[in-house]
Amino acid sequence: MIKAIKLKKILIFGMIFLIFFGVLYYKIFLFGNNISKNRSASQTEDMLNAMKNYCAEVEVTVMSNKTQNSYAMRQEVDGDWSMQEVTKGENIEGVKIELNGSNLKVSNSRLNLEKVYENYQNLLNHVMFLNSFVADYENEKNTSSCYEENGELILEVNLNNHSNTYINHKKLYMDVKTGKPTKLEIKDNTQKETICILYNNVEFK
């Protein structure tokens, strides 16, 4: 009889402990993880918004089936105005492309040439600009993902309806500590890398 009472007390104590532990686990672990995820999503959104207006010095490598060419460039985006200038690169050094609204201006400081195209749409969503990546990432028609790996925040997006088969997938690496991009990979519909951009210096506006 005494053993039965003791066993009953042990069972009751065990049940109370399990209930207490379950409540504690829910509050600390599950609820805590949700807060962490929400904070991470908020930080990611802040990073994306910052990339809509920026200036950067970049190294661009363009790969095709037979060739690979590298260029040093300067990029700047401010609202509807964006600019990309080749500061180092065989045959195209000095070439600057400026987009202002729907107008495109192409100039070459070395050759003293300049041409303006009105109502030009083809480059308004230039794949090598960070704000273009943000637009693709936020587009609900595309498939996007976000995760951390080796101290970097990695954002990926599949361009589900892109007409150019050479631009099908984008992968952006960001430094978790600084919140700034370090590399952008652009791949074709076979997952072969076509463009790689390294960010040497990025300043947000």
Domain range summary for the chain, segments of one domain joined by +: 48-82+125-204
**Whole-number pLDDT of residue 160:** 86
**Considering Cα of 119, then 121, then 125, then 126, what sign does the dihedral take?**
negative
Q: In whole angstroms, give the CA distance from residue 181 to residue 130.
A: 9
Is 48-82+125-204 in CATH node 2.50.20.10? Answer: yes
85's CB contacts (< 8 A; 6+ apart) are 73, 74, 94, 95, 96, 97
**Whole-number pLDDT of residue 163:** 73
Per-residue model confidence as pLDDT tens for the chain (205 residues): 544 444 444 444 444 433 333 333 333 333 333 333 444 667 778 888 889 999 999 999 999 888 899 999 999 999 889 999 999 987 888 899 998 877 888 898 777 788 776 766 554 457 889 999 999 999 999 999 999 888 889 999 999 877 778 888 999 999 988 889 999 999 988 888 999 999 999 999 8
**Whole-number pLDDT of residue 40:** 61
**Whole-number pLDDT of residue 74:** 96
62's CB contacts (< 8 A; 6+ apart) are 68, 69, 70, 71, 194, 195
Q: In whole angstroms, give the CA distance from residue 69 to residue 67.
A: 7
